[in-house]
Amino acid sequence: MSSQTQLDKEETVEEIFPGAEFAAAREAKGQDVEEVASTLNFSSSHLVAIEEGRLSDLPNRVFALGYLRAYARHLGLDEQQAVADYERFTGSTPKAGVKPLKSIGGGLEEPQRKGGGAKWVLSIVVLLGAAGAVNWWVNQRPVTADVPAVTTFNIESEPDSAASPVEVVATISTEQEKEIVSQPVEVSELASDSELNHVSAIPETVAVEPSVSSEMDVAVAPIVSSSLGGDEPAQVVNGGDSSVEAVSNTEAVAEDVVATADVQEVPVVDKPASVVEGEGHLKISFDADCWVEVRDSSGKLLVASVRGAARGVDVRGAAPMKVTLGALSSVDSLTFNNQAVELTQRGRGNILRMTLPVVE
Amino acid sequence: MLKKIRGLFSSDLSIDLGTANTLIFVRDKDIVLDEPSVVAIRETGNQKSVAAVGADAKRMLGRTPGNITAIRPMKDGVIADFHVTEKMLQYFISKVHDNSFLTPSPRVLVCVPCKSTQVERRAIKESAMGAGAREVYLIDEPMAAAIGAGLPVEEAHGSMVVDIGGGTTEIAVISLNGIVYADSVRVGGDRFDESVVTYVRRNYGSLIGESTAERIKQEIGTAYPASEVREIDVRGRNLAEGIPRSFTLNSNEILESLQEPLSAIVQSVKSALEQCPPELASDIAERGIVLTGGGALLRNLDRLISEETGLPVVVAEDPLTCVARGGGKALEMLDKHAFELLTHD
């Protein structure tokens, strides 16, 4: 018995298909080959070939595996092990180059697509196009970041010691264009109230001669603080001559720039706190909470929210503006284009609907 | 012309357009898509749009609101709804080409039931063309199944293949790259499900859906009495009370419920053997019958057919994908010499 076991071990070492396991299992069940063959409807020669490890005597793979599985199942052996042994000893793999599905509807690899090169070429062309577009756009933009000479005026006016600062920024740059471009700066209105009048810069290019810069009409309040940005120290000019000095200062700078570089450009100039024609500036302050709805002439909603004492309304938009106030009694003051509007006779109950400017 | 250009960026495909599942094999690659042949259609007024396709749509089956209909455009192996099939194919083809800039225009090989009519074949062909295919080839399903299962179809040796799909069961005897005998019965996995539904309604007075019936079939279904009995808990709507009730089914009950469709399949196999030329019948008796298709996964079906015919019966490896893989192999031979494998209409 022990010698038989030793023999079996040697056979295993010699890598022979373990058909003996099938024979042993069959004998353990007390069945002969013919009996099993009739039960499974298999040819007994195929079963004998399996038991003797003659796998080459079996038909092709699909049948051989079918027989092995059925025989293993019948004898209570491990089907998967039998299949693995078959594959190991015959060197065949399931569908060379074709992997079986692990599960239905999932875990499948995406196909590799032909024509990947074309995709890359197309991608590169698109990227180059985008880069060209960005380059063009950058070149078309007025250059402000690379301005070599920048002059900034910060003019603060304080009528009756109450400050109403107006910031005027004039950017003068040296460029390759052979013309001086500047923007007449006009401060038409300086509000007497103490609120800040901050004017955003509106880039505009107007070609003018150097002498034109002397025509810049800068009307300032008695106290003007003018600071020349960059290397220029800040200057404080007092008294009524401030406007003249400011203008001359501007002239001087302009001429200086002309003297040093023939090519000048002033692409960005701040506009003063003026109300452009057709534009309305609405300011409302409140004592208590109030619903506010403001629409401009095109019907665009500018404000639609509850405002209160802490947060008033200060909007600009195309006039005429339509204003709806939900609680008229909460309104402290309403000014349109810096002119106070009388509200007491206009409301219906506590609700006010009106169009500004008021047409009497 | 445009299709030819787009074809340069497309892979050749083999499509197993089945009643239950659609599988796509990409040439020189593998099976890359295996999705249920279900499309969910959303109706908005008079306009219809595709809400979901494949696995997503299958999850909707029987669970849709009024404006969404989850339908299976294939019935009994052939097209039941032409436009929906076209949309489904379009979706699947674009899905396997989803990296493409251009709309794919592949060469497509579609597997068709061997007993389908010329009209049905033309419908499948037109549908594939409508879905963007550049050229469409048709191959008989049992031939594709035999190739996919690894049967020696090119030898002068008879091989019998039984492909049990969702809608049809195809039986064919193949030798020398040709079909000697073929038959198709409109019995398949769907009929199994219907039988389970009917059985449960009749014996438990409860109504279950097709998805539940399919799950029961997959988990405890058997075609031949086994020593081990399996059980499953099922919930269905009780017809008398109108409320969902739970009950337990066992494998012997499912075996009983499947008797009718199973006997139809066995009868067809016997009929094929009867009509088979004696030399080929002898070959089949020596080696046996090969089962493919999802139906072959029904437990002990090989045992049943073996008992009924007295012949060896084996289940192919990975039977669900045999048809698509066989189509893929035919596709690889397309440029060489295998045109005799393809059908001509």
> Each residue of A181-210: pLDDT tens digit?
444 444 444 444 444 444 444 444 444 444
Amino acid present at A180: I
**Helix, strand, coil content of chain B in percent (nearest 5):** 40, 30, 30
Q: Which pLDDT belongs to residue B162?
A: 96
CA distance A338 to chain B (A): 55
Q: Which residue has the higher pLDDT, B85 or A165?
A: B85
Which residues of chain B does A98 touch, with a Cβ-Cβ cutoff of 8 Å? 30-31, 325, 328
What is the C-alpha separation between B13 and B2, in angstroms, rounded? Answer: 19
Beta-bridge mates of residue B34? B23
Q: Which pLDDT belongs to residue A11?
A: 46
Residue of chain B with shortest Cα separation from A115: B9
| Inter-chain touch B312–A43, beta carbons under 8 Å | yes
Q: Average pLDDT in the B179-201 region?
A: 93
Mean pLDDT score across all residues of chain A = 64
Does B236 carry a binding-site annotation?
A: no
DSSP helix/strand/coil, A53: coil
Q: Are B5 and A114 in contact (CB under 8 A)?
A: no
Look at A204-213, B125-134, B146-155 and tell me which has the smallest mean pLDDT: A204-213
Which residues of chain B does A114 touch, with a Cβ-Cβ cutoff of 8 Å? 8-11
Which residues of chain A does B325 touch, with a Cβ-Cβ cutoff of 8 Å? 95, 98
**Which tens digits make up the pLDDT trace of A275-309?**
566 788 888 888 888 888 888 888 888 888 888 88
Chain A contact probe: residue of B21, B30, B291, B325 with most A CBs at under 10 A: B30
Q: Which residue has the higher pLDDT, B74 or A123?
A: B74
The answer to whether residue B202 scores a pLDDT higher than 60 is: yes
Q: Which pLDDT belongs to residue A125?
A: 87
The CB density around residue B255, as the number of other CB atoms within 10 Å, is 21
Which residues of chain B does A42 touch, with a Cβ-Cβ cutoff of 8 Å? 288, 312
**Which tens digits make up the pLDDT trace of A253-284?**
444 444 444 444 444 444 444 556 678 888 88
Please tell me what DSSP assigns to residue A59. -
Q: Which pLDDT belongs to residue B36?
A: 92
CB of A102 within 8 Å of a chain B CB? The answer is no
From the list A65, A105, A111, which residue is nearest B317 (CB)? A65
Measured between its terminal Cα atoms, the distance across chain B in Å is: 25
The CB density around residue B179, as the number of other CB atoms within 10 Å, is 18
CB of B287 within 8 Å of a chain A CB? The answer is yes
b/e code A241-253 from CB counts within 10 Å (16+ = b): ebbebbbebbbeb
From the list A41, A95, A112, which residue is nearest B312 (CB)? A41
What is the C-alpha separation between B218 and A277, in angstroms, rounded? Answer: 80
Q: Which pLDDT belongs to residue B211?
A: 86
What is the C-alpha separation between B230 and B251, in angstroms, rounded? Answer: 5
Please tell me what DSSP assigns to residue B193. H
DSSP helix/strand/coil, A318: strand
**Which tens digits make up the pLDDT trace of B67-107?**
898 889 998 888 898 989 999 998 898 888 766 566 677 88
Q: Which residue has the higher pLDDT, A170 or B286?
A: B286
CB contact residues (below 8 A), chain A span 34-53, against chain B? 40-43
Q: What are phi and psi of B51, to 5 degrees?
A: -90, -40
pLDDT band per the 50, 70, 90 thresholds, residue B294: very high
Residue of chain A with shortest Cα separation from B102: A119
Percent of residues, chain A, with pLDDT higher than 90: 0
Q: Which pLDDT belongs to residue B148?
A: 92
The answer to whether residue B200 scores a pLDDT higher than 70 is: yes
| Inter-chain touch A114–B150, beta carbons under 8 Å | no
Q: Average pLDDT in the B176-185 region?
A: 91
The answer to whether residue B203 scores a pLDDT higher than 90 is: yes
Residue of chain A with shortest Cα separation from B55: A105
Q: Average pLDDT in the B44-50 region?
A: 86
CB contact residues (below 8 A), chain B span 160-179, against chain A? none
Highest mean pLDDT among A11-20, A272-281, B146-155: B146-155
Residue of chain A with shortest Cα separation from B283: A59
Which residues of chain A does B151 touch, with a Cβ-Cβ cutoff of 8 Å? 60, 62
